[in-house]
């Protein structure tokens, strides 16, 4: 994703969440740490609270993002990844709510592998 701010002038920084250094829960928030790449290498930290997560999910289900995604070249990969991600989220959440071990959740790769396959298919243009 591109990040621009008035203070950057004409410079646009690229923030790649996939290449993050860390994703942790700290002080009731999700924290994403990483380094933005060229033209400027810049350490960053994004902190998301519960309200931020709810707002982002609400944003994604709105008409503008949906129209954008339907028209996207990789729409099928995006749809497959969104569906697999939602199922993984539900599976892990229910497992933990009913007393499952966080260590087991950390090793759960079944849906992650399906998501990766969907992304790979999208890269091939399917």
Q: What is the pLDDT of residues 13-24, one digit of tens each?
A: 888 888 889 889
- Per the domain annotation, does 91 fall within a domain? yes
Examine the pLDDT at 116 and tell me if it is beyond 80. no
- 67 belongs to a structural domain: no
- How many Å apart are CA 40 and CA 71, to the nearest integer? 32
Between 71 and 7, where is the model more confident? Answer: 71
Share of the chain above pLDDT 90, in %: 30
* CA-angle at 52, arms to 65 and 22, nearest 5°: 100
Say if 64 falls within a structural domain. no
Domains: count for the chain? 2
Q: Are 78 and 125 in a shared domain?
A: yes
d(CA 56, CA 35): 22
Q: Phi and psi (nearest 5°) for 36?
A: -75, 150
My answer on whether 81 and 126 are in the same domain is yes
What range defines the domain where residue 11 resides?
Answer: 1-48
pLDDT band for position 100 (cuts 50, 70, 90): confident
CA-CA distance, 52 to 30, in Å (whole number)?
A: 10
Do residues 41 and 80 share a domain? no
- Convert the pLDDT of each residue in 29-48 to its tens digit: 999 999 887 767 888 899 99
d(CA 30, CA 53): 9
Q: Please indicate, yes or no, if residue 41 is contained in any of the structural domains.
A: yes
pTM of the model: 0.67
The verdict on residue 57 lying in a domain is no
């Amino acid at each position: 994703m591109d990040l621009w701010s008035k203070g950057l002038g004409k410079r646009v920084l690229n923030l790649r969440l996939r290449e993050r250094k860390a994703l942790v829960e700290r002080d009731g928030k999700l924290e994403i740490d990483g380094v933005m790449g060229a033209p400027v290498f810049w350490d960053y930290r994004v902190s998301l609270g519960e309200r931020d997560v709810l707002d982002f999910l609400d944003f994604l289900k709105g008409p503008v993002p949906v129209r954008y995604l339907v028209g996207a070249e990789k729409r099928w990969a995006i749809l497959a990844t969104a569906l697999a991600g939602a199922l993984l989220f539900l599976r892990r959440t229910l497992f933990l709510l009913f007393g499952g071990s966080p260590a087991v959740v950390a090793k759960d790769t079944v849906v992650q592998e399906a998501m990766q396959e969907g992304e790979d298919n999208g890269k091939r243009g399917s």
